[in-house]
Amino acid sequence: MPKDLKIFEEKIGFHFNDAALLRQAFTHRSYVNEHRGEVPGHNERLEFLGDAVLELISTHFLYEKYPDQTEGDLTAYRASLVNAVTCAEVANEIGMNDYLLLSRGESKDSGRARSILLANAFEALVGAIYLDQGYDAARSFITQFLLPKIDEIVRQRLWQDSKSALQEKVQEVDSVTPSYEVLKETGPDHDKHFVVGVYAKKEQLAQGEGQSKQEAEQDAARAALEKKGW
């Protein structure tokens, strides 16, 4: 049985007029397939909407916060702020993992696979808040829970392109250029999920996941940098 979402509402300080919207934000497609008729739908449409809301609000925030930065730097900042890693981190911090509605198979996922599910649910939650209470409420939520992450991102230079950083390191150490290979591709065209491996001299350095090949490659490069301590 799903946990009481009123507890979650108290935690984030937002109370939904339409409780079904909040529940839908936590509902993965796999859960709907296993519980037909129990829930009205999954969270993919909300995720689609929430992604756009996140991008607009974060773009406006960065534009005002960093008036002297170039378009290229702002784009890199935004990519780091709204990517799956950061969104999953915030989702974990506000306790979303406890409320995800998943199939029995998806419930066993952990690590990066679970992070992707959390990031998607976070975007869906933003979409649900936007539909239920409007732009200002969505902006208030994002401002409270996500936007403060930018200070750490900039301080640690996490916005830098991971693939470029890894290539520089691998060439310095091994005198080769790292290569990327798609190991797994699942999902329908509108909701693809990729698993990519990054290699140097035929050795797999790490794996990454994402909703596009590019995102998965960046995730793999980031994982390789962490694993190597670079």
76 and 125 both lie in a single domain = yes
Bridge partners, residue 193, by sequence: 186
Q: Which domain holds residue 211?
A: 162-228
Which pTM was predicted?
0.73
Tell me what pLDDT residue 36 has.
78
Please tell me the distance from the alpha carbon of residue 199 to that of residue 179, in angstroms, as a whole number: 5
The 3-state DSSP class for residue 18 equals coil
69 and 91 both lie in a single domain = yes
Q: What is the pLDDT of residues 41-89, one digit of tens each?
A: 899 999 999 999 999 999 999 999 999 999 988 988 998 899 888 999 9
99 and 172 both lie in a single domain = no
124 and 13 both lie in a single domain = yes
**Averaged pLDDT for residues 148-159:** 85
Task: Respond yes or no: is residue 51 known to be catalytic.
Answer: yes
168 and 149 both lie in a single domain = no
Kindly report the backbone phi and psi dihedral angles of residue 164, in degrees, each rounded to the nearest multiple of 5, phi listed first. -65, -40
Q: What is the pLDDT of residues 163-180, one digit of tens each?
A: 888 998 899 998 999 999
Tell me what pLDDT residue 109 has.
66
Which candidate in 47, 123, 132, 217 is catalytic? 123
Read off the CATH number of the domain in which 169 is found: 3.30.160.20
Tell me what pLDDT residue 2 has.
53
17 and 122 both lie in a single domain = yes
Give the amino acid at 22. Answer: L
135 and 24 both lie in a single domain = yes
Both tokens assigned to 110:
């952990």
Say which residue the tokens 């992604």 belong to. Answer: 51
Number of domains the chain is built from:
2
Question: Radius of gyration (Cα) for the chain, nearest Å?
Answer: 19
12 and 125 both lie in a single domain = yes
The alpha carbon dihedral of 102, 106, 112, 117 has a sign of: negative
**Averaged pLDDT for residues 143-155:** 93
Domain boundary residue among 128, 155, 182?
Answer: 155
Which candidate in 51, 209, 217, 219 is catalytic? 51
**Averaged pLDDT for residues 181-193:** 87
Task: Respond yes or no: is residue 123 known to be catalytic.
Answer: yes
Mean pLDDT of the chain: 90
Domain boundary residue among 140, 155, 170?
Answer: 155
150 and 177 both lie in a single domain = no
137 and 184 both lie in a single domain = no
pLDDT cut 70: percent of the chain above it: 96
145 and 198 both lie in a single domain = no
Tell me what pLDDT residue 1 has.
41
Read off the CATH number of the domain in which 18 is found: 1.10.1520.10
Tell me what pLDDT residue 111 has.
66
Domain boundary residue among 92, 120, 155?
Answer: 155
Q: What is the pLDDT of residues 85-117, one digit of tens each?
A: 899 999 999 999 999 998 877 776 666 678 889
40 and 129 both lie in a single domain = yes
pLDDT cut 90: percent of the chain above it: 61
The 3-state DSSP class for residue 208 equals strand
